[in-house]
């Protein structure tokens, strides 16, 4: 009986730990999205080069995607092999995007 109670308590504790950053992640995602929407108009007002705007928007998108994957998809708490599984295709992503952008 004591073991069952301990196990239940353990599951409860782990579930609480997983939950901890959910609201913070939501706030961060919302703030970054608000900032992203300002980039084109700010770029025009302050003459920020388009390449810099693209860089900013892609960096913010990568950061947002990482937050969702790490905390909402729980990758941060998964085993290393499961964390590596979705990282593998990212090399293909980078290669394809570079190829079509700068290819002939």
Partner 1 sequence: MEEGHAHGAPEGAHEGHHTSIFPFIVALSAGFGFGGLAIHSFPVVGVGVGLLVVGVGGWLWQDAKGISFALKGAFEDRPFHDVSVRKIGMWIFIVSEIFFFTGLIASGLALRVRVPLCPEIPTGACWPSPTSPDFPLNIPLTAVNTFILIVSSFTMAESLHFAQLGKQAQMRAFLLATLLLGAMFVSIQVYEYSKLFFEEFLTPWPNATKPWFGTFGTAFYTQTGFHGAHVTGGLLALAFLNVKAWRGKFGKGNHEAIELVGLYWHLVDIVWIFLFPIMYLIGR
Residues at the site binding partner 1, with contacts judged by CB under 8 A: 8, 10-12, 14-15, 17-19, 22-23, 25-26, 29-30, 33-34, 36-37, 39-41, 43-44, 50, 53-54, 57-58, 60-61, 64-65, 68-69, 71-74, 77-79, 81-82, 85-86, 88-90, 92-93, 96-97, 99-101
Residue placing its CB nearer to partner 1 in the complex, 1 or 15: 15
Residue 71: partners with Cβ closer than 8 Å, 6 or more residues away: 21, 22, 25
Report the nearest approach of partner 1 to the CB of residue 87 (Å).
10
């Amino acid at each position: 009986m004591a073991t069952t109670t301990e196990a239940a308590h353990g599951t409860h504790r782990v579930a609480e730990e997983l939950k901890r950053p959910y609201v913070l992640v939501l706030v961060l995602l919302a703030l970054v999205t608000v900032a992203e929407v300002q980039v084109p108009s700010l770029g025009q007002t302050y003459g920020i080069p388009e390449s810099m705007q693209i860089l900013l928007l892609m960096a913010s998108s990568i950061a947002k995607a990482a937050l969702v994957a790490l905390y909402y998809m729980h990758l941060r708490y998964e085993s290393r092999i499961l964390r590596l599984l979705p990282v593998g295709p990212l090399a293909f992503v980078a290669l394809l995007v570079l190829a079509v952008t700068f290819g002939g």
